[in-house]
Amino acid sequence: MFGLPLKNEWDNWYDKIYGFYFRRLDNITDVEDLTAETLNSFFLTKTEVQDQYSFIFKIARNKLNTFLKSKYKNYPATTLDDNLQINYSPNFEKFKSDLQNCIEKHTSELDQQILNLCVIEDFQSKDVADKLNISSSNVRTRLHRSLKILKEKCKHLKQF
C-alpha cells in the first residue's frame, strides 16, 4: 500500500515519456531504457521543482541529446531549447521562421495553442482540453483541421 501512490505517478509519466522517445528513436530497447532513466532521475529530484512537466521533459531532452551524441560519433552539435528546436543546418532558421509565419497566417490563436501543446510539447488531447477548457474531441478535430490546412497552405516551404 505504501508504494501505490508512487506507482500511480510513475504510470502517469511513463506513457508521456515513452511516447516522447518512441517518436524520436527506432529501437524499442533504447526507448524503454531512456524512459526508465528519465523517470529515475525525475523521481530522485522532483520534490525540488515547481513545474514538474517542464522539468521531466527537460531531463528527457538532455538524455536524448546525450544518447544521440554517444551513439552517433558524427552527430552534429545541437542545442535543444524548451521548444525542441534543433539547429541542423544554416537554412533551419529561415525554414522555421517561414513555417511560423505560415502557421500564424492560416490558423487561429486557439489552433496555434493546440498545435504547440499537441505537437511540440507532446500533450495528450485530454490534457490540452483541460488546459484550454474545451472538449477533447474539439482538440482532436481542431488539430486535424489545422494540420490539413497547413499541409496545403505551407507546402511551398522547402524543408531545410
Residue 43 lies in a domain: yes
C-alpha–C-alpha distance, residues 17 and 37, integer Å? 10
Confidence of residue 6 (pLDDT cuts 50, 70, 90): low
Asked if residue 65 and residue 103 are part of one domain, the reply reads no
CATH number, domain containing residue 17: 1.10.1740
Residue 99 lies in a domain: yes
Q: Residue 64 corresponds to which cell in the numbers above?
A: 536524448
Query: Is the distance from CB of 80 to CB of 86 less than 8 angstroms?
Result: yes
Confidence of residue 135 (pLDDT cuts 50, 70, 90): very high
What's the confidence (pLDDT) of residue 74?
56
pLDDT at 133 over 90: yes
* Structural domain containing residue 149: 92-153
pLDDT at 2 over 80: no
Give the pLDDT confidence of 61-85 residue by residue, as tens digits. Answer: 989 888 888 877 655 544 444 444 4
pTM of the model: 0.46
pLDDT at 8 over 50: yes
Domain count, the chain: 2
Residue 159 lies in a domain: no
CATH number, domain containing residue 97: 1.10.10.10
86-89, Cβ contacts within 8 angstroms, sequence gap of 24 or more: 88/160, 89/160
Residue 28 lies in a domain: yes
Query: Is the distance from CB of 121 to CB of 57 less than 8 angstroms?
Result: yes
What's the confidence (pLDDT) of residue 86?
46
Residue 80 lies in a domain: no
